[in-house]
Amino acid sequence: MTEANLSDDPLHGSADVREYFGDTYPRVLAFAEMLAEQGVERGLIGPREVARLWERHILNSAALLPYLGEGRVADVGSGAGLPGLVLAAMDPQRDYVLVEPMERRTQWLFEAARECGIDNAIVVRGRAEEVAESVEVEVVTARAVAAIDKLVKWCTPLLSEGGRMVLLKGRSAPDELERAKYTLRKHRFTGEVHRAGTVPGVEATTVVVLSRA
């Protein structure tokens, strides 16, 4: 089987995608190309992901941006840089702290930020529940890291008063919110589920916003 590359992705180079990212497209494109070239070998994405990188990963991450509100952001369990590096590339006016415990992934995050000109990304190695002394932000993001219940326990100490969590979740988000209800109440969060669209023809993404009451 020949290896997939980014040009196999039908959204690669599309006018809708360029328009969606506007001025920030060159940085996002540089990141998508670097992830497509190195991500499989470096164990960041599976081989099948390259041909659907824009929809499943880049646009899926980008969908969070309108929900972030103001303030500094920490992306917890950033891994390949999803959603953190995509958001930082699109939103250069503020800092994004990428929290990731695995050394080889933090190395990737450093390199990708540097090589793609994403100067507002700060990489912190550690587990979310261990970095509260060095990370204080208004917004926490996460994708594919843990259930809502756990994320609230781990990440509440990283948030300033009034902070929020903006999470990429699957369609079972309402069930997950229900299972987390005691933890949410204890930490004074209320949860909302949104369906967030990006470019025409691309499936909307489920976004959970947890706000402090």
Ligand X SMILES: C[S@@+](CC[C@H](N)C(=O)[O-])C[C@H]1O[C@@H](n2cnc3c(N)ncnc32)[C@H](O)[C@@H]1O
Binding site, residues? 77, 82, 128-129, 143
Binding site for S-adenosyl-L-methionine, residues? 77, 82, 128-129, 143
Give the residues lining the site for ligand X (CB under 6 A): 76-80, 82, 99-102, 105, 127-129, 143-145, 154
CB 11 → ligand X: shortest distance, Å?
18
d(CA 52, CA 10): 8
* CB contact set of 32 (below 8 Å; sequence gap of 6+): 6, 12, 53, 54, 58
Nearer to ligand X, 58 or 209 (CB): 58
Nearer to ligand X, 86 or 199 (CB): 86
d(CA 180, CA 86): 28
Nearer to ligand X, 102 or 204 (CB): 102
CB 78 → ligand X: shortest distance, Å?
6
CB 15 → ligand X: shortest distance, Å?
27
CB 213 → ligand X: shortest distance, Å?
25
